[in-house]
Amino acid sequence: MLRDEVYDYDASRFLVFSTDLPISAQVTHAKSSEPYLCFRLDLDPAEISELVLQAGPPPARRAATQRGLFLSSVSNGMLDAAIRLMHLLDSPEDAAALAPLATRELVYRLLRSEQGERLAQVARADSHANRVMRAVSRLKSNFAEPLKLDELARECCMSTSSLHHHFRAVTAMSPLQYQKQLRLQEARRLLLSEGMEVSKAGYSVGYESASQFSREYSRLFGVPPSKDVSRFEMMAG
């Protein structure tokens, strides 16, 4: 889930993230006899760019900036390449030579799919999607610092209005909303995993007001920080 948008996928489809997004996810079907398994592949923008140059541009689609995640159907070619890549786990002596080939084929299949144009934008330095990726990276590394939108726009070679427009198109939120999501998700991790005090967790992620932290935490997670901690401790036994 990305804000209010729900993306539901299964073994017949693949999910691609073209940038880091503060999502929440849930496994809806799994049991001991059929455990949940996921195949994840980190894509290299340099390899994407090289394949676009070698094989030609992917099928043209809409030029407008679109979401930074998308679903599509898995083709037989993709499935075949993915299976061969996983089989190399059983023959590590062959992996060094064959894994890059299977990975390259899988990226090629993705580029030739109906979502290929959206994937190719990631590798284009002058694309709006790539510039938004730079903005996301900057926000992730400095989310506890005050947001200066004009400076962020200059770093990404965009006007403030253009950054705001394309950032929302890719992430479904404004840069400020994105920063809040990062802050609150990190604060929740500090509270539930590290056992940090509520006031200290809020301060650690950039909040100067305890009441504002509690209010925005409740808005995102449904309960105040202290109640969330109590509920987690009860569930953990």
pLDDT digit string (tens) for 40-61?
888 888 888 888 888 887 776 6
Q: Does domain 126-176 sit in CATH 1.10.10.60?
A: yes
Gap between the Cα atoms of 124 and 58, Å rounded:
13
Element (H, E) at 69: strand 69-73
Closest CA to 138 of 157, 122, 123: 157
What integer pLDDT is reported at residue 235 of this predicted model?
83
CATH of domain 180-236: 1.10.10.60
Q: Return the domain boundaries, the chain.
A: 13-122, 126-176, 180-236
What integer pLDDT is reported at residue 210 of this predicted model?
94
pLDDT tens by residue, 77-88: 999 999 999 999
Report residue 76's pLDDT band, with 50, 70 and 90 as the boundaries: very high
**Count of CB atoms within 10 A of residue 63's CB?**
9
Mean pLDDT calculated for residue range 146-171: 93
126-176 and 180-236 in the same fold: yes
Gap between the Cα atoms of 35 and 164, Å rounded:
41
Gap between the Cα atoms of 151 and 157, Å rounded:
10
What integer pLDDT is reported at residue 192 of this predicted model?
94
